[in-house]
């Protein structure tokens, strides 16, 4: 859990190496820009491996864009060769991306997001893990979407306290 949590915070740390003109571009990326964006994984992996943290943190950072069918990047890993933490995080990351407003898109509805995730079962996502996520998705979505910023901070504090020794 610790590696998954820390990895979720740091999964895109390598984007500090991506030029703002590409990173913040509101429209579709060119093929060259897409290639540049994909390098954030290697940049991030170098950053977290150098920090000497839990190996599972590096696993999330290095493999969060791998896909169950092997069509992801940067290594083209497939199935159980993708670290468990990265497979779990990939589902949460895509769900969050779909449900969130971004510079280039409006948020999808919960129903649209779930339909997209279901379409990716067995190709993008580990189908067994996705089934477990779908069992709790509505509850998680309803809880978080009904909270204000302070309530979300408190939920984060409680989660961190449950999984880490935190001196306050």
28 is catalytic: no
Domain architecture of the chain: domains with CATH: 2-163 (1.10.3210.10)
Distance separating alpha carbons of residues 158 and 163, to the nearest angstrom? 9
pLDDT digits (tens, 9 = 90+) for 79-98: 999 999 999 999 999 999 99
Q: Counting every residue, how long is the chain? A: 168
**Is pLDDT of 53 > 90?**
no
User: 15, 28, 49, 105: which one is catalytic?
Assistant: 15
pLDDT digits (tens, 9 = 90+) for 94-134: 999 999 988 778 999 999 999 999 999 999 999 999 999 99
């Amino acid at each position: 859990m610790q590696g998954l949590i820390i990895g979720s915070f740091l999964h895109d740390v390598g984007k500090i190496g991506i030029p703002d003109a590409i990173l913040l571009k509101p429209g579709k990326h060119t093929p060259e820009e897409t290639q540049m964006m994909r390098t954030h994984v290697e940049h991030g992996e170098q950053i977290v491996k150098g920090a000497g943290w839990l190996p599972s943190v590096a696993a999330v950072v290095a493999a969060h864009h791998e896909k169950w069918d092997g069509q992801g990047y940067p290594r083209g890993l497939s199935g159980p060769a993708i670290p468990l933490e990265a497979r779990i995080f990939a589902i949460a990351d895509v769900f969050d991306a779909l449900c969130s407003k971004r510079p280039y898109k409006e948020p999808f509805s919960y129903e649209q997001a779930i339909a997209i995730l279901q379409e990716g079962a067995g190709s993008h996502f580990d189908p067994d893990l996705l089934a477990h996520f779908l069992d709790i998705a509505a509850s998680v979505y309803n809880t978080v979407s009904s909270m204000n910023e302070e309530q979300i901070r408190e939920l984060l504090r409680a989660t961190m306290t449950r999984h880490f020794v935190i001196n306050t």
